[in-house]
Amino acid sequence: MTRRIARAALAAVALAGGGAGAHEIAPPPAPPAYALPTPGSYELPAISRVPDFTLLDERGAPAPLLGLASDQVAVVSFVYSRCTGGQGCPLALATFQGLDRKLAADPALAGRVRLATVSFDPANDTPERMAALRERLRPAADWRFLTAASPGAIAPVLAAFGQDALPLVDERGAGLGLFRHVLKVFLVDASGAVRNVYSAGFLSPDLLLVDARTVLLESGHRAALAGP
Amino acid sequence: MIRTRSTLAVLGLLAAAAARLAAADETCQSPYLPKLVGQEDFVYVWTLGVDGLGDGSDKLVTIGANPARPDYGKVVSTLSVGGRHEAHHGGFTDDRRALWIGGLDDSAIFVLDVASDPAHPKLVKTIRDFSAKSGGVVGPHTFYALPGRMLITGLSNAKDGGGRTGLVEYSNQGDFIRTIWMPAGAEYGYDARVNADLNRMLTSSFTGRVNYMRPLGELLKDAAAMKNFGNTMVVWDFHTRKPLQTLAVPGAPLEIRWALQPEHHYAFTASALTARLWGVFRTPDGRFEAVDLAPIGDPSKAPLPVDISLSADDRHLFVSTFGDGSVHVFDVSDARQPREVLVQKIGGQLNMVSESWDGRRVYFTSSLLANWDKSGPDGEQFLRAFDWDGKALAPRFAIDFQAERLGRPHIMNFGALGFYQGRVAGGATGAPGGGG
């Protein structure tokens, strides 16, 4: 327990020292310590349904959040650039980077999995900042960086996905420009059904890809997607 | 303001630790849930209504638990849900913004908003068709947060009221997702706890509605009915929700607590009818074995261990025994060789024991089931709060639920104002980001 408390204190230090626009990226998550299941050997029932939303891409142009063809799935996470929590946004970005590289190396799958990193802090995360993030991460597959025109425009998106994001304040109630949020990553199919939700406890590019293959196998692309 | 020390850390921040936070009370919460690691402001107590006592309804009672606040040791608010449903267990959603509480009798589930005003939770949704939607599961027991959804264990079924039951998943929005029936040979259900690091889930087993709604004295005399209790635990592949192993654990193994420290690949449970402490240990081949570790009290006197709470450092295991109203504290530093280090009488009867994450405070409540609770002098109904220094329990405050005309207190969950107000206290552990 002592070690946990010490780590928590370190986290608080990291919070205090986080600079604006830090866009930290964590080390890539370790592979799971357990054997991955075979794609298609288990079920991922729909948890909820989300509509598509029109957001802004990194050039400031309107862009759909999902925009999926019938044979595609999306992996979506909500982040903000000032986040410095090692198991928060930086972990989400590292996971997506790992996913992106694995997809780029698998042409049969690459066209069927779209990645979307969405800011829930549009007041700070302008399209320019998202472009800078894209430049830093250099996506090799279909990975988009989205924001919204205003906090009011992102609120219904967060509500639809069930993503919390609470602005933090200091002792006097002054805004800190930081958010408390539980990291969630969403696997969404072409019908808008959320098929799995991941958090820090089991966020792994390998597991995400097995789940993506499991969903895609339902839509009849067995030969191409049976996977390793 | 000391109040602002009430902080809630998103322990997902703690890199390697996060995946290993599998269990237990505050220390038994789901690994997918932010943990309250500092001083709690409130204890939420899901309370059975008693005919003629107050409004007679099941209710959530909010108790002030922060000594720096004026409501310390007092009833802050009550929220009646209307009617009596055999109030039993409940748990938070993965973002800790909603508390789901259930009734074992009619399988009603109540979803409370605890985020908007943590001192005054509000009822936002009632699920009355749990049994119909789930295909006949009855008696929603454990409410366990998974990302975006709630895992609910059943105790029984609508067909015969026996112990055959299943695991049911709902979305955080309150919509049914799926039912997974318990496997053949291990049909009974009770608790479910996940070790995310190992991708393993453990489930335990109790008895069906025809037994748990029956007066205990009558049930104990019915030898045929007494055979209808679970004697198994099941090891599951959590991600695929597929059963892997059935373990023999005779005598109704109830609450499950995974160890919390890295490389501690084991869990504890207590068998109610046989009064034994059990360990479930991972073996070198990756499978699990159940080991009978020790008696709890004198099994010949049927002490009936009903709840357990494991400290965050995996050192102390608190076991409450209903029959003699006592808590038994085991030193489980050596998990295979537990040593009983304290036995203390808490009241005439005793059920839930909940420990704070920092291990400094321990809370107890008295009620087990409406028809199993004692009558007469031992039938007192209370919440009692203690300080724990690693050796002794020192009383801090108590709430008499009969004198306050509240009912019979059962499960406890902790709340903190600062978490929902987005406050970051100076030098505190609260921090944004991260997943639970």
Residues 6+ apart with CB under 8 A from A61: none
Classify residue B330: in a domain, yes or no: yes
- Domain range enclosing B78: 2-421
Classify residue B430: in a domain, yes or no: no
Classify residue B436: in a domain, yes or no: no
pLDDT one-digit tens code per residue, B374-409 = 999 999 999 999 999 999 999 999 999 999 999 999
Q: Which residues pair with B167 in a beta bridge?
A: B153, B180
pLDDT at B353: 98
Smallest Cα distance from B378 to chain A, Å: 37
Classify residue B10: in a domain, yes or no: yes
Q: Which residues of A touch B177 (CB under 8 A)?
A: 45-47
* CA distance linking residue B419 with residue B10, whole number of Å: 10
- Of A97-101, A199-203, B8-12, B317-321, which range is least confident? B8-12
**Cross-chain Cβ contact A197/B95 below 8 Å:** no
pLDDT at B332: 98
pLDDT one-digit tens code per residue, B129-147 = 999 999 999 999 999 999 9
**Cross-chain Cβ contact A34/B14 below 8 Å:** no
* CA distance linking residue B84 with residue B50, whole number of Å: 8
Going from the first residue of chain A to its last (228 residues), give the mean pLDDT of each consecutive group of 10, the final group possibly shorter. 32 29 64 91 97 97 97 96 80 93 94 97 96 95 97 96 90 87 94 95 90 90 48
Kindly report the average pLDDT of chain B as a whole number.
91
pLDDT one-digit tens code per residue, A66-101 = 999 999 999 999 999 988 766 688 889 999 999 999
- Give residues 38 to 57 of A whose Cβ lies within 8 Å of B: 41-43, 45-48
Which residue of B240, B359, B435 is in closest CB contact with A182? Answer: B435
- Residue B432 reports pLDDT greater than 90: no
**Cross-chain Cβ contact B435/A8 below 8 Å:** no
pLDDT at A185: 96
pLDDT one-digit tens code per residue, B174-201 = 999 999 999 999 999 999 999 999 999 9
Classify residue B434: in a domain, yes or no: no
pLDDT at B251: 97
pLDDT at B424: 59
pLDDT at A23: 57
- Give residues 122 to 151 of A whose Cβ lies within 8 Å of B: none
**Cross-chain Cβ contact B177/A167 below 8 Å:** no
- Residue B169 reports pLDDT greater than 80: yes
Classify residue B428: in a domain, yes or no: no
Q: Which residues of B touch A182 (CB under 8 A)?
A: 10, 12, 34, 94-95, 434-436
Classify residue B266: in a domain, yes or no: yes
Q: What percent of chain B has pLDDT over 70?
A: 91
At B168, the pLDDT band (50, 70, 90 cuts) reads very high
Q: B392: domain CATH number? A: 2.130.10.10
pLDDT at B418: 86
pLDDT at B1: 28
What chain A holds in terms of domains, given with CATH numbers, is: 20-30+39-225 (3.40.30.10)
At B12, the pLDDT band (50, 70, 90 cuts) reads very low
- More confident of the two residues B253 and B4: B253
Quote ipTM for the complex. Answer: 0.89
Asked if A169 reaches chain B (Cβ–Cβ under 8 Å), the answer is yes
pLDDT at B425: 45
* 3-state SS track over chain B: CHHHHCCCECHHHCHHHHHHCCCCCCCCCCCCCCECCCCCCEEEEEEECCCCCCCCCCEEEEEECCCCCCCECCEEEEEECCCCCCEEEEEECCCCCEEEEEECCCCCEEEEECCCCCCCCEEEEEECCHHHHCCCEECCCCEEEECCEEEEECCEECCCCCCCCEEEEEECCCCEEEEEECCCCCCCCCCEEEECCCCEEEECCCECHHHHCCCHHHHHCCHHHHCCECCEEEEEECCCCEEEEEEECCCCEEEEEECCCCCCCEEEEEECCCCEEEEEEECCCCCEEEEEEEECCCHHHCCCEEEEEECCCCCEEEEEECCCCEEEEEECCCCCCCEEEEEEECCCCCCCEEECCCCCEEEEECCCCCCCCCCHHHHCCEEEEEEECCCCEEEEEEEECCCCCCCEEEEEEEECHHHHHCECCCCCCCECCCCC
Q: How many domains does chain B have?
A: 1
Classify residue B426: in a domain, yes or no: no
- More confident of the two residues A21 and B16: A21
